Amino acid sequence: MLKNKTIVVGVSGGIAAFKTAALVSKLTQAGANIYVVMTEAATKFVTPLTFQALSRNPVYTDTFTEPDATKIAHIDIADQADLVLIAPASANTIAKLAAGIADNMLTTLVLATKAPVALAPAMNVNMYEHPSVQENMEKLRSYHYQLIEPGAGYLACGWVGKGRMAEPEQLLELVDTLLEEATDLRGKQVIVTAGPTREPLDPVRFFSNYSSGKMGYALAQEARRRGAHVTLITGPTALEAPVGVETVAVQTAEEMYNAVNKRYQQADIVIKAAAVADYQPVDVFAHKQKKNADEWSVALERTKDILRFLGEHKKEQILVGFAAESEQLHTYAKSKLERKNLDLIVANNITTEGAGFDVDTNVVTVFTRDGQETAYPQASKQEVAKQILNELEAYMKRREA
Ligand code: CTP
């Protein structure tokens, strides 16, 4: 992904600039062409020479230094950029960008570029939480700039809280995602559901399942990497939201149904990787139930089958379902594809080692509406996400032909 891409790394004044040195080194090693642009404050933390050595390119600190008389540096670099990443982004630089101020090389370049812009804020926790900083970041989000949430922990100023710049590895992954591939998914509206749902019984108890959400999150990330606009509707998981994806957190099957349904008309593709609970308690108690009798029977009723509903109300949308089976994979998966009016179904035998819930790998067979069937060997869920989306794109091509 990074080979021959031009990335402008903007460095503003903050101690986290030392981490940016590691990032620039990784990006250069991955084959990207890096131009580092520093604010004056940034040069107090790390010298331009450090970045010059790591990027093997000149470092820009001053708008009016023009080493090449045939070019205007800030415009030339702004035009060449495939991506602009500002790391660390100080409160001051964020404020300037929110106000459209162009008083140094970095802010001028950001105004001039047509490339996507991402910012990794880093500052003291109280500064980060200040309403003016929050408001400025909100404004930048409205320009479709990508704000990368800082981590929480020990800050160089001595405070403990939110404000640590994202780690170089995370930023590398983000850059990779943002430099998306141009495929048939580019610009498509994709909904991915992921994780389990939780069906409450009383304020402290619920019914759920072992789904980790890993498959759905990997699909959301891969679809985003291919240029789709992705909404990830997710039940409770321990996973971090993929960068560049709109994430909607839900708890119950009912909430998932509402969240999907609200967006269904605008969607081009819906991928239902979630392990939606099939039953919910008939009675949900407002208060915690005390233990009394030795046994407790709970009456359950069916939840709404979201995918079936989507299949029944389908217009041009492409529907991808999942089938977790423990026997007769072919028969059950194919009948689910028909019954729910799907375009693709991803079936896995949950009794196979390395497949199914709460593991990092999966072993899937993909069935398509036009009768194709492909069995894939065991692979990481990231790799399986690629297999599924390749199948999906091939199916879309056949459908259009
Ligand atoms: N699904 C859904 N809404 C539900 C239940 C399931 O949208 N209330 C979706 C899942 O996201 C998945 C597919 O339907 O894509 C799974 O189909 P389902 O009929 O639930 O199959 P299983 O869970 O495997 O259960 P069974 O074999 O008992 O039908």
On whether the CB atoms of residues 271 and 289 are closer than 8 A, the answer is: no
Confidence of residue 297 (pLDDT cuts 50, 70, 90): very high
Q: In angstroms, what is the span from residue 335 Cα to ligand 1's centroid?
A: 12
- As a whole number of angstroms, the distance between CA 272 and CA 343 comes to 12
* Strands 246-249 and 300-302, bridge-based pairing: unpaired
Which atom of ligand 1 is least distant from the CA of 321?
15
Radius of gyration in angstroms for the set of CA atoms belonging to the chain, rounded to a whole number: 24
Pocket mutation for ligand 1, best pick of 322, 345, 349, 350 (most atoms within 8 Å of C-beta): 322
State yes or no: pLDDT of 159 exceeds 90: no
| Section 145-154 average pLDDT | 90
Q: Are residues 157 and 234 in the same domain?
A: no
Which atom of ligand 1 is least distant from the CA of 322?
15
- As a whole number of angstroms, the distance between CA 213 and CA 237 comes to 6
Q: Are residues 167 and 255 in the same domain?
A: no
C-alpha distance from residue 345 to each of 111, 216, 242, 329, 369 (Å): 45, 14, 24, 11, 8
Residue 64 assigned to a binding site: no
Residue closest by Cα to atom 8 of ligand 1 = 305
* Domain membership flag for residue 183: no
246 Cβ below 6 A of ligand 1: no
Confidence of residue 357 (pLDDT cuts 50, 70, 90): confident
Last residue of a domain, one of 137, 155, 178: 178
* Higher per-residue pLDDT: 50 or 382: 50
Q: Residue 373 sits in a domain of what CATH number?
A: 3.40.50.10300
* Domain membership flag for residue 46: yes
- As a whole number of angstroms, the distance between CA 337 and CA 329 comes to 12
What pLDDT is recorded for position 276? 98
253 Cβ below 6 A of ligand 1: yes
324 Cβ below 6 A of ligand 1: yes
Residue 278 assigned to a binding site: yes
Buried b (16+ CB within 10 A) or exposed e, 300-329: eeebebbbeebbeebeebbbbbbbbbeeeb
* Domain membership flag for residue 341: yes
State yes or no: pLDDT of 67 exceeds 90: no
Q: In angstroms, what is the span from residue 289 Cα to ligand 1's centroid?
A: 30
The per-residue pLDDT for range 86-128, each reduced to its tens digit, is: 999 999 999 999 999 999 999 999 999 988 999 999 999 999 9
* Domain membership flag for residue 1: no
Q: Are residues 253 and 364 in the same domain?
A: yes
| Section 25-42 average pLDDT | 96
Confidence of residue 182 (pLDDT cuts 50, 70, 90): low
| Structural domain harbouring 357 | 189-400
Residue closest by Cα to atom 14 of ligand 1 = 307
Using H for helix, E for strand and C for coil, what is the string for the chain?
Answer: CCCCCEEEEEECCCCCHHHHHHHHHHHHHCCCEEEEEECCCHHHCCCHHHHHHHHCCCCECCCCCCCCCCCCHHHHHHHHCCEEEEEEECHHHHHHHHHCCCCCHHHHHHHHCCCCEEEEECCCHHHHHCHHHHHHHHHHHHCCCEECCCEEEECCCCCEEEEECCCHHHHHHHHHHHCCCCCCCCCCEEEEEECECCEEEECCEEECCCCCCHHHHHHHHHHHHCCCEEEEEECCCCCCCCCCCEEEECCCHHHHHHHHHHHHCCCCEEEECCECCCEEECCCCCCCCCCCCCCCCCCEEECCCHHHHHHHCCCCCEEEEEEEECCCHHHHHHHHHHHCCCCEEEEEECCCCCCCCCCCEECCEEEECCCCEEECCCEEHHHHHHHHHHHHHHHHHHHHC
Active site residues: 157
303 Cβ below 6 A of ligand 1: yes
* Domain membership flag for residue 387: yes
Confidence of residue 59 (pLDDT cuts 50, 70, 90): very high
| Section 375-381 average pLDDT | 94
* Domain membership flag for residue 14: yes
Q: In angstroms, what is the span from residue 393 Cα to ligand 1's centroid?
A: 23
* Domain membership flag for residue 65: yes
Confidence of residue 219 (pLDDT cuts 50, 70, 90): very high
Residue 51 assigned to a binding site: no
274 Cβ below 6 A of ligand 1: yes
* Number of domains forming the structure of the chain: 2
Residue 340 assigned to a binding site: yes
Which atom of ligand 1 is least distant from the CA of 278?
8
Last residue of a domain, one of 140, 156, 178: 178
Q: Residue 47 sits in a domain of what CATH number?
A: 3.40.50.1950
Residues in the chain: 401
State yes or no: pLDDT of 243 exceeds 90: no
| Section 162-166 average pLDDT | 93
Q: Are residues 173 and 254 in the same domain?
A: no
Q: Are residues 163 and 287 in the same domain?
A: no
State yes or no: pLDDT of 244 exceeds 90: no
Last residue of a domain, one of 178, 204, 223: 178
Residue closest by Cα to atom 20 of ligand 1 = 278
Q: Are residues 293 and 154 in the same domain?
A: no
Q: In angstroms, what is the span from residue 308 Cα to ligand 1's centroid?
A: 9
310 Cβ below 6 A of ligand 1: no
233 Cβ below 6 A of ligand 1: no
Q: In angstroms, what is the span from residue 338 Cα to ligand 1's centroid?
A: 13
Residues 6+ apart with CB under 8 A from 338: none
Cis status, amide bond into 88, omega within 30 of 0: yes
State the Cα torsion 374-378-383-385 to the nearest 10°.
50
Which atom of ligand 1 is least distant from the CA of 339?
19
Rounded to the nearest integer, the mean pLDDT of the chain is 94
The per-residue pLDDT for range 250-265, each reduced to its tens digit, is: 999 999 999 999 999 9
213 Cβ below 6 A of ligand 1: no
What pLDDT is recorded for position 401? 86
305 Cβ below 6 A of ligand 1: yes
Residue closest by Cα to atom 18 of ligand 1 = 323
State yes or no: pLDDT of 160 exceeds 70: yes
Residue closest by Cα to atom 4 of ligand 1 = 305
333 Cβ below 6 A of ligand 1: no
Q: Are residues 219 and 352 in the same domain?
A: yes
Q: Are residues 92 and 136 in the same domain?
A: yes
Q: Are residues 34 and 165 in the same domain?
A: yes
Tokens of 365: 């067979």
* Domain membership flag for residue 151: yes
Q: Are residues 159 and 250 in the same domain?
A: no
Q: Are residues 365 and 235 in the same domain?
A: yes
Q: Are residues 253 and 136 in the same domain?
A: no
| Section 307-336 average pLDDT | 96
